[in-house]
Structure 1
């Protein structure tokens, strides 16, 4: 298994797959391993934590729990066992190394059965640090007042985990811990320990005294079903009780802004040095992005990506993946555990994320161009700057309708937007400004009157700034293809702004007689692309500026300040 997060094929394997042996194909398509579960030490052994409650957890589960099919005794696969050892790893003070976690695996791997085992461990098992033994190893003890929750955005998802409890709980378990198992609530130890399934009602969750929470199928947790709000409530509850939570998920759909996507980005930001480490265990085993979708390669890759989940039948999975009536993008997410965009998405995550400049920033006085796309109520409004000399992209403002009750009756603050435009002209040397005229004609006219004579390139014959996006389809399409080419060729860069990123990944391809234009998912879709539209306008302004050549700007006496 590979310990690399990003890997390209080995140069000596960069030949036709038919010329490679099966072992060479395993090397060429080795899975991307995120997290410690599949990491090895220098001598080839498994990398294991120095101190962990996991050994006692595994022993306890083998004594008190049945197998996932309700027979025999529970026995973790080696892969599951290593994950448990890391999830319960502690430092020299006995504090958990990981406060939160994400377990991302392909469909059918066994995430729900493992989550059910952890829930029972957390309810009555040795899940908390209780001191050190004579070998200076941690001792596990039960939580004195455990309140375990299985959270999901609908009841069916919670049942994926809760239906496992009846199979896992042996008679020995029930008698030892005096278990009273109801449909939605399991009590033990005279009611001091509880386990409950909850769905997407953030208000009902508010104030809960949770000690451990499973977040089920977080790739489905989005703003529209209150999944994001539920996640934020759960984090607050766990923090208050010094609790922990673990998300189980398949690969998410980029651009949906799901909780799974947010947790992955938070982990990536830590790896890139953009955020402080807060104790998140992220564990995923994914097919590499260059995986060839041929029968021979798929058979080898699926065998590696399934890990130790031997019950997954490779032939059955291949029939699904190769079924032409099923979206190949969906098959990649479900069965290869790859984070890939939908069939109509214009960009993959890597297309945009690889352009991030960790040290990039605009400085006062920089020569820039501006792009603007304005909404009023439901659509977003965005002002995007693009530096002339190198194509560095920076949002100067993205205004969007808030989620929940705050969004009722919301309208964009036009004075705030107007102030951002004036601030841009004060701070930077604006060479061109292209703004979509829809809904903002009066403001654009005012900006044109005030700043038009200073601009090196006019947006149109009728306005120095106004650009009608409803114009020539051919012109717009050809201009957009140049932006697509710049992104694919890494000819622009950006600072990683999450709002702009979301809008970029929401963009759908719109093919016409002249090439590839862009669109949002549907007219009513909440997945906005307005910031991308503003960036397109800024890119177009820069292209026309460079093609026509800059003229000398008039002096205005304005100084540069922040």
Structure 2
């Protein structure tokens, strides 16, 4: 029979509650000698329920790949070690529903030989999970009740084993592990074999219906780490750019406006990031009723922030769990997030300006994106009207069955521009004409006469972001950067715009700082950022032209 249905709002069928009970009954709390049981926090229980969710009709697992991102000291490694032991011994393979409509499972050994791997790029990294895993297994009832032989370097099951593995292992490719933990994947890169190891472990698990969990701290954008790639894969699903399914990303970080120089703001940010593990005297304030006080010494952690030998960027990543920026990033993630305002809505008929950056098919690599961005004249709120990006899998099949490479849907782009002029009162429109010269000329002919702010008299729309206009480009970039960091502008938080802003890299030129991709062939695009800069420059020119003169009217202002 299918699932019984929800008994409260938001309930979903899951084996997570069973796994939670199993851990409490069979595992010991690591780091203790008194045999105290391992009891996951409510925050960890919520992750278990999401990770072990099953389909309400078929009963099959929905999640095969997960990323659990928390700050250093939250307890990721012991927690994923407990999951590894559950995968080895407990009834975690879905087996339908019982007579009451409750999900039930069976152990992996009833299906195949269970192999569980604790993976990392170095042996020292594997110890993060392996050592507390050994303590949980030895202090609990697994040896007597499940027949485990717990050795220092391997745990033998009656059928199967649990063992650590690194990127230097020669037998990884053919290793059919039903579960693998991938620790500190923010440090897994091409250079240390991490990219290849992660891909292999995922493929191995996929072939047999297994699963993997990554447990990184906040990654640094642009480094190409496994954690960054996984977050990108998940975002592509949310954006509709990928048809992949079965990925769970659970990331919590301190609010973007956390001030590291203000102790009250810093402590509040740390308590939010650490959640249930925070040693708040009143327990975790994220839940009602509050959880018991945790183990992470928040007041002590603040001491690291007063130590001038520590890099602020490292502190944000390690303790606030904030995904900040690369060393040459134009903007940081906290700056971009702090300037977002999802509550603002630009209504039809409002006065706006537009910015556009286009592209065409590349001879190699990922085609650049095409972006149309709007900016409300009255308050400088920037919003996405359209961003066209090459999907993860760019090759599609045409009517004749032959592969067709993805290209920018020009007709859709032209329709979006036309729709913007129909819906809003567009007073200015700046577009980088590179590779779109003929269309920009058409826009100038069609809309130029009605634009109240113009790039030039002869070319009201054309605004080159390349070539011999470097001084103007540098100034436009400076204006946008200052407006965003000083919160003079807001934006709608759209995924593409945020990603492209964070992808932008500072490059020093003879006339000043310009922005580019990390390298010419990078798949991480910045076109929406360029379009936003053009829209903001257009607004600045509109204000200079007197189009935003404040007029007091009925207790407010009209523009």
Whether 1:244 aligns to 2:244 is: no
Farther-moved stretch of structure 1 (164-173 vs 89-98)? 89-98
**What secondary structure sits across from 2:357 in the alignment?**
strand
Distance 1:545 1:358, change over 3 A: closer
Q: Do the aligned partners of 2:88 and 2:108 also contact (CA within 8 Å) in 1?
A: yes
Out of 449, 473, 477, the residue aligned to residue 476 of structure 1 is 473
Return the match for 1:147 from 111, 115, 122.
115
Q: Which residue of 1 aligns with 2:26?
A: 61
Preserved contact between residue 368 and residue 432 of structure 1 (Cα < 8 Å): yes
Is the Cα–Cα contact under 8 Å of residues 367 and 428 in structure 1 kept in the other structure? Answer: no
Aligned to 1:103: 68
- Distance in 2 (CA, whole Å) between partners of 1:253 and 1:272 is 21
What are the Cα deviations for residues 30-89 of structure 1, in whole angstroms up to 9, with x where unaligned? Answer: xxxxxxxxxxx99xxxx9989821354124423xxx542374436224517745763557
The alignment partner of 1:109 has SS state of coil
CA distance in 1, matches of 2:153, 2:347: 52
Query: More displaced, 522-531 or 119-128?
Result: 522-531
Instruction: Tell me how far apart the structure 1 counterparts of residues 443 and 536 of structure 2 sit (CA, whole Å).
Output: 19
What is the CA–CA distance in structure 1 between the aligned matches of 2:17 and 2:153, rounded to whole Å? 31
1:86-485 paired onto structure 2 within 5 Å:
86=49, 95=59, 99=63, 100-128=65-93, 141-144=106-109, 145=112, 146-153=114-121, 156-170=124-138, 173=142, 186-191=155-160, 193=161, 195=163, 197-199=165-167, 205=173, 209-221=176-188, 237-254=204-221, 260=227, 283=250, 286-293=253-260, 294-295=262-263, 298=266, 302=270, 305-306=273-274, 307-308=276-277, 310-314=294-298, 316-341=300-325, 345-348=330-333, 351=336, 354=340, 370-372=356-358, 381-386=368-373, 392-394=383-385, 397-398=388-389, 424=413, 428-429=417-418, 434-435=431-432, 456=448, 465=462, 467=464, 469=466, 471=468, 474-484=471-481
* 1:463, distance to aligned residue in structure 2 (A): 12
Q: Is the 8 A contact 2:221 2:325 kept in 1?
A: yes
The change in CA–CA distance for 1:474 and 1:275 in structure 2 (over 3 A counts) is closer
Q: Counterpart of 2:301 in 1: which secondary structure?
A: helix
Q: Deviations over 1:317-351 (max 9, x none)?
A: 22212222323232123113344445754142673
In 1, Cα distance between equivalents of 2:169 and 2:538: 47
What's the secondary structure of 1:189's corresponding residue?
A: coil
- Quick check: 2:14–2:103 contact (8 Å CA) kept in 1? no
Aligned residues of 1:61 and 1:117 also touching (Cα < 8 A): no
Show the counterpart of 1:76.
Answer: 38
Q: 1:496 to 1:302 in 2, by over 3 A?
A: closer
Given the superposition, is the C-alpha separation of residues 540 and 371 from structure 1 closer, same or farther in structure 2, using an over 3 Å criterion?
A: farther
Runs of 5+ unmatched residues, structure 2: 1-7, 279-293, 395-403, 422-427, 449-453, 548-559
User: Would you say 1:531 and 2:527 are equivalent positions?
Assistant: yes
The gaps in structure 1 that reach 5 residues or longer are 1-40, 404-412, 438-442, 551-562
TM-score (norm: length of structure 2): 0.62
1:123 Cα deviation after fit: 1.2
Deviation at 1:425, TM superposition (A): 5.4
Is the 2:24–2:37 Cα contact (8 Å) retained in structure 1? no
Q: Quickly say closer, same or farther: Cα 1:203–1:467, change in 2 above 3 A.
A: farther
Matched residues in 1 for 2:392 and 2:92: separation? 42
The offset of 1:508, in angstroms, is: 4.5
For the residue of structure 2 that corresponds to 1:162, the secondary structure is helix
Shift of residue 505, structure 1, vs aligned partner = 0.6
Please give the alpha-carbon distance, in whole angstroms, between the structure 1 residues aligned to 2:546 and 2:414.
20
Post-superposition Cα deviations, 1:138-181, rounded to whole Å, max 9, x if no partner, equal: 66643213232334455543343234444444297457656567
**Contact map agreement 2:331 2:502 (CA 8 A) in 1:** yes
Pairs aligned (count):
479
Whole-angstrom CA distance in 2 between matches of 1:84 and 1:537? 39
